[in-house]
Structure 1
């Protein structure tokens, strides 16, 4: 870990409101995995965001907007997030979203295949499109037209837009985690 965790008692005046907002949002949206240590210091991507509160707030606001405005089914969202996490080999991202996907009933076989950066064979047509779309976009370059058209036909324009933003957001989260070498807590 390249940035020390910030105990709540050591937060600056700029960090404290962001910390409070993140804890509130985390409690209602990101509670399937460990996000803070025993003294209340935030872990995962939230710690680096606290170190740069102006930038961190912008990223946090985007994260909350993507959560609040979600229209894609949860299984589609988790596939996209896990594809990006696997593509970036972002350990905390994979850890966190395996926990979310497990709560939502995703099988161990499917999870193992997704985090190995491989397309599971048991996907529905919609899940396959989400996988191919996320995989191609996270690889870099222009998203191939046939995949884009299939996504629009399947998820509508709004859902396709959401999928693009979701892949982008979790690429940013994964980059944050990898850049700051954010560790994975022990699973309970």
Structure 2
């Protein structure tokens, strides 16, 4: 059986901290100071026991300056979004399910649990299905995100429901969030990054 440290980079070797150039080291330190503690608090892993980054973060080290800008978007979205945490997790898991991004689903299933979703709801979202019992705004968020990722268009009826629910700012915030996680899912799927095996 492979150890926790093996094969977590998918098509990319996991980079050791002592092999990084100066730009990579800046990004590494940023991720170790922000994303790794957040992952630990949320109930998933973003690094190995040897301090190597996993998930999308290992791939990000290959382009550290663009990745720093992407992480700036992550930080700003988390602070400035008008969306509730539950709506955010519906959007993120719906994108992850559409892309079948294993690590994304692993990570945000844990985050969604911390946000207060029950196991059945999370299981349905991970499977790409609309759960029963979503709050009205969560239901609209699922519909918008699913339609945007699957058909790339929002019909008038759904658009009008979404505008009534979220307003124009909320719609823009939702599209930014969905697009951000499409980028993350693209990194994960291109490099076939797996979810860690359950302990």
Which interval holds the TM-score relative to the shorter structure? over 0.9
In the alignment, which residue of structure 2 is the partner of 1:112?
Answer: 123
Q: Are residues 1:52 and 2:63 paired?
A: yes
Q: Which of 68, 71, 88 in structure 2 is aligned with 1:77?
A: 88
Structure 2 equivalent of residue 96 of structure 1: 107
TM (norm. structure 2) is 0.89
Q: Does 1:3 align with 2:12?
A: yes
Q: Distance in 2 between matches of 1:165 and 1:98?
A: 20
User: Is the 1:48–1:56 Cα contact (8 Å) retained in structure 2?
Assistant: no
2:5: which partner in 1?
none
Q: Is the 8 A contact 1:80 1:134 kept in 2?
A: yes
Instruction: Judge which range, 38-47 or 22-31, deviates more.
Output: 22-31
- In structure 2, do the counterparts of structure 1 residues 107 and 28 end up closer, same or farther at CA, with 3 Å as the change threshold? same
Q: Which runs of 4+ in 1 moved over 4 A?
A: none
Specify every segment of 5 or more residues in structure 2 that has no aligned partner in the other structure, as ranges: 1-9
Are the equivalent residues in 1 in contact too, given 2:103–2:195 (CA < 8 A)? Answer: yes
| Long gaps (5+) in structure 1 | none
Question: Match for 2:184 among 150, 153, 173?
Answer: 173
Q: How far apart in 2 are the matches of 1:27 and 1:174?
A: 18
Other-structure match for 2:34 = 25
Offset of 1:165 from its aligned partner?
A: 0.5
| 1:156 and 2:167 matched | yes
Q: CA deviation at 1:58?
A: 2.1
Q: Deviations over 1:152-186 (max 9, x none)?
A: 21112111111011110111111110001112112
Q: TM-score, normalised by structure 1?
A: 0.94
